[in-house]
Amino acid sequence: MDESTSSAPLLEIQNLCKYFPIERGLMRRVVGHVRAVDDVNLTVGHGKTLGLVGESGSGKTTLARCILRAIAPTSGRMIFRPQGQEVDIAGLPKKELRSIRRHMQMIFQDPYSSLDPRKTVYDIVSEPLRLNQVASGQVLEDRVKRLMERVGLSIKYMHRYPHAFSGGQRQRIGIARALALNPSLVVADEPVSALDVSVQAQILNLLRDLQSEFNLTYLFIAHDLSVIEHTSDEVAVMYVGRLVEQAPTKALFRTPRHPYTEALMASIPLPDPDRPLPVQGGLEGELPDPAHPPGGCYFHPRCKYARPICSEQTPPWTEVGPGHHAACHFTRELTLQGIE
Partner 1 sequence: MSNGNDILLEVRELRTYFKLDEGMLKAVDGISFTLRKNRALGIVGESGCGKSVTAQSILQIVPRPGRVQGQMIFHGEGGPIDIGALDPESDAMRQIRGREIAMVFQEPMTAFSPVHTVGNQIMEAMLVHGGISEQAARERAIELLDQVGIPAAARRVDEYPFHLSGGMRQRAMIAMAMMNHPKLLIADEPTTALDVTIQAQILRLMKKLQADFGMAIIYISHNLGVIANMVDDVAVMYRGKIVEYGTVRHLFKNPQHPYTQALLRSIPHLGGEAERLATIRGSVPIPLDPPDECPFANRCDHFIPGRCDARMPDAVETEPEHRVSCVLYS
Query: CA-CA distance, 145 to 158, in Å (whole number)?
Result: 8
Closer residue to partner 1 in complex, CB, 86/286: 286
Smallest gap from residue 330 Cβ to partner 1 (A): 20
What is the length of the chain?
Answer: 340
Smallest gap from residue 205 Cβ to partner 1 (A): 5
Closer residue to partner 1 in complex, CB, 96/196: 196
Closer residue to partner 1 in complex, CB, 229/245: 229
Query: CA-CA distance, 23 to 137, in Å (whole number)?
Result: 51
Beta bridge partners of 120: none
Residues in touch with partner 1 (CB under 8 A): 55-56, 166-169, 196-202, 204-205, 208, 223, 225-227, 229-230, 253, 263-273, 276-277, 279, 282-284, 286-287, 339-340
Of the candidates 96, 79, 70, the one whose C-alpha atom is nearest the C-alpha of residue 10 is 79
> Which H or E element spans position 251?
helix 249-254
Closer residue to partner 1 in complex, CB, 7/56: 56
Closer residue to partner 1 in complex, CB, 122/239: 239
Looking at the chain, the number of H-run helices and the number of E-run strands are 10, 12
Say whether 62 sits in a helix, a strand or coil. helix
Smallest gap from residue 111 Cβ to partner 1 (A): 12
Instruction: Classify residue 26 by its DSSP letter.
Output: T
Smallest gap from residue 162 Cβ to partner 1 (A): 14
Smallest gap from residue 125 Cβ to partner 1 (A): 20
Query: CA-CA distance, 91 to 77, in Å (whole number)?
Result: 8
